[in-house]
Every structure is written in structure tokens, then in C-alpha cells.
Amino acid sequence: MSDVAERRNYNLRDEIKAYWSERAATFDLSPGHEIFSEEERAAWHRLIRRHLGEGEGRMALDLASGTGVVSHLLDDLGFGVTGLDWAEPMLERARTKARERRRKISFRMGDAENTMEPDEHYDAVVNRHLVWTLVDPAAAFAEWLRVLKPGGRLLIVDGDFVNANALERLFSKLSVWGQRAGLLKADTPSGSREMMETHRSILSRVHFSQGARAEEVADLLRKVGFVDVEIDTDLSEIHRTQARNWNFFKALARRSQHRYAIRASKPSS
């Protein structure tokens, strides 16, 4: 294929895929991605239980599973888990981790907007930090409705990573200042300057380029046919257990962000 043809065929979805493929090597080093304490793991378990109940062998699909952090949480709770991601380097890490932890989780390559999974196959569809980066969320949500069994549940964990409120801005500035002065614990580097620029560029072109607000996501879920849509902004236990990984101000900045879980159901029939 000529250079020109290659460039013409390279779209936003390919850019997102390439970005996460490159991030895979260091993804688990970041608190907020991988889990670094049993307290945090228990807090995540409680959030999932609150919305989905115990697994009891039911089938769950973890969309955009990355290195498999959420897949493992679901497996811990007794779900039969399939993790789906479109970045092969993420999948490789997820498979290695599952082998090391002796978990039977199936990880496969696929697009969360077009999963190729059978109709009405899953009791639960779950994703963390996917919705903000969807190119076509309405199509994706309709797809998730399709693969859920009647009465099945969707659990989204996400946030608005665009609109920093005044408190978040203040705490972030104090965190940066403290780190520069050598007084505060340094952040885990979130990639090179070039990667950060790529991230900014992608974010400016996705559907939720103005920030994925929970109410907007919930409205879209209702529009495609989900019912009993409930927004849960009480992630305080998770944030508290994560806080020790960051300096004081960085932890406060994170807690000031608009982060949420959304639970929704497919109508029973």
C-alpha cells in the first residue's frame, strides 16, 4: 500500500489503538490503573457487588479490559469473565497476569463498539475508563444492550477528564509546586511529552471531547433502551484507599474530579 493510501485509511480508532498499545508497557505502574493494596481491592469488590451482586458463575464481559485489572476483580467475585480489548500489547499483559495468578479468564481482541459476541449472551457488561474515549458511544451502547441477556446489567466506571473544577486546579498546582520543590512525593510519569500530546489530540476529537459527564452518559443509555439507569458518585472508599499512592495534594486533586459509576439494566423482556 502506498504511503498516501495508508494515511487515508488510518483513522481516529487506529490512533487510539496505537496510543494504548504504546502505553501498555507502563500502564500497570500507575496507581489508579493497577491495584496496589488489598484495601483498595476490597473497595472495588464492594462497588461491583453493590451494583452487580456476587458472580455465582454468571457471565461477564469486561470491555476495553486493558491489562485485565477489572477482569480479575470480576473473577474474584465468581463471574465467568471474558476480557475484550483491541490493543494486542494490553492483551498480552492481561494473559500473562492471568497465568501468573492462575485465573481462567479469556482475553480476546475486539472492538468494544462492535464486539462480534452473540446476542443476549452476558449477564453483565462492565467497563472502566472506556466511555470517555469512545468514537461513537450511541452505537457502542446499543451493542452492549444487544449482547446482554434480558434483565442483564451494565456497569460503567468513568469520569470527566476534561473539565477540572477550581479545587482540582488548585490542588494540582500545589502538587506540582511541591514536587518541584522536592517536598512532595513525585507522580508516576504518565509518558513522554509526545505521548501526552497524542493523548490531548485524541481527547479533542472523541465524542466526549467536552468531558464525559455522568448525566450525559446516562441520558444516552436511556435513549438506546437501557432502563433503571443509576449514577453512583460515591467512590470515596476507593479514592481513600488509593490516596496513599500519591502525595497529599495529588490525592485531593483526584478526589475533586467528576468520577462516577453508572449502573443500567436491559429490560427483562
Ligand X SMILES: C[S@@+](CC[C@H](N)C(=O)[O-])C[C@H]1O[C@@H](n2cnc3c(N)ncnc32)[C@H](O)[C@@H]1O
| The binder of ligand X chosen from 59, 60, 81, 90 (CB under 6 A) | 90
| The binder of ligand X chosen from 16, 148, 184, 218 (CB under 6 A) | 16
Residue nearest ligand X (C-beta atom) = 66
Asked if residue 94 binds ligand X (CB under 6 A), the reply is: no
Query: With respect to ligand X, which residue has the nearer C-beta, 129 or 255?
Result: 129
Among the listed ranges 58-66, 144-152, 163-171, 235-243, the one in contact with ligand X (CB under 6 A) is: 58-66
Among the listed ranges 74-82, 84-92, 163-171, 219-227, the one in contact with ligand X (CB under 6 A) is: 84-92
Which DSSP symbol is given to 31?
Answer: B
Asked if residue 238 binds ligand X (CB under 6 A), the reply is: no
Task: Return the exposure string of 70-85: e unless at least 16 CB atoms fall within 10 Å of the residue's CB, then b.
Answer: bbbbbbbbebbbbbbb
**Is-contact 2 9, C-beta < 8 A?**
no
Cell 469473565 -> residue: 81
Asked if residue 65 binds ligand X (CB under 6 A), the reply is: yes
**Is-contact 131 216, C-beta < 8 A?**
no
Query: With respect to ligand X, which residue has the nearer C-beta, 16 or 253?
Result: 16
| DSSP three-state, residue 234 | coil
Among 124, 107, 29, smallest CA distance to 65 is for 107
Asked if residue 86 binds ligand X (CB under 6 A), the reply is: yes
User: Given CA atoms 53, 59, 63, 65 in this order, what sign does their dihedral have?
Assistant: positive
| The binder of ligand X chosen from 112, 125, 221, 262 (CB under 6 A) | 112
Dmax (CA) for the chain in angstroms is 60
**Footprint of ligand X (CB under 6 A):** 16, 20, 33, 64-66, 69-70, 85-87, 90, 111-113, 128-130, 133
